[in-house]
């Protein structure tokens, strides 16, 4: 199993603000904060610094779930494993491959998941069905449709 990459360090613009806390003289500390905050605001305006709050991270992680994107590991910072290893969503559309009998499910966020194991889904997925997709072993994923038994799936987009 590949080791997780270390979380990225702080952006220089943020580190500059934090470094100002170490200055004991009040006037110098305030001047440092003023300069560091101005630099941070400029970095945000030019796109050199992008701030993302927890809600935005969760939305991005949900959208990217199932894709292999190790550079987005920072989205997991501060989250519980059960929040990182699964998503829940609604089905926008579903179709069945007439040759294999496997399902392809499009979620409400546009993610496309294809069944890979040939297991039967007793109550077929339909628009509005609730799905839970979990990380499984060896980089695979499982999907439960409306609480039924899980089937193996792969994200196609």
Per-residue pLDDT of the chain (157 residues), as tens digits, is 444 444 567 888 889 999 999 999 999 999 999 999 999 999 888 878 888 888 888 888 888 888 776 667 776 777 777 778 899 999 999 999 999 999 999 999 999 999 999 899 999 999 999 999 999 988 899 999 999 999 999 999 8
Predicted local distance difference test score (pLDDT) of residue 3: 47
Q: The tokens 């400029």 sit on which residue?
A: 42
Cα 125 from Cα 92, distance rounded (Å): 10
Tens-digit pLDDT profile for residues 18-31: 999 999 999 999 99
For residue 113, the surrounding DSSP H or E stretch is strand 112-115
Asked if 73 and 53 touch (Cβ cutoff 8 Å), the reply is no
Predicted local distance difference test score (pLDDT) of residue 2: 47
Neighbours of 103 (CB within 10 A): 21
Cα 120 from Cα 36, distance rounded (Å): 59
Asked if 17 and 30 touch (Cβ cutoff 8 Å), the reply is no
């Amino acid at each position: 199993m590949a080791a997780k990459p270390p979380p990225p360090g702080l952006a220089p613009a943020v580190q500059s603000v934090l470094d100002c806390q170490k200055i004991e003289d009040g006037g110098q500390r305030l001047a440092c904060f003023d300069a560091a905050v101005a630099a941070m605001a400029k970095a945000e305006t030019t796109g050199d610094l992008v701030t993302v709050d927890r809600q935005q991270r969760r939305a991005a992680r949900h959208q990217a779930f199932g894709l292999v994107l190790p550079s987005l590991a920072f989205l997991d910072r501060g989250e519980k494993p059960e929040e990182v290893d699964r998503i829940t969503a609604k089905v926008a559309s579903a179709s069945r491959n007439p040759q294999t009998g496997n399902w392809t499910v499009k979620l409400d966020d546009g993610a496309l998941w294809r069944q890979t194991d040939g297991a039967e889904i007793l109550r077929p997925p339909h628009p509005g069905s609730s799905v839970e997709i979990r990380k499984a072993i060896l980089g695979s994923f499982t999907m439960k449709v409306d609480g039924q038994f899980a089937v193996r799936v792969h994200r196609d987009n």
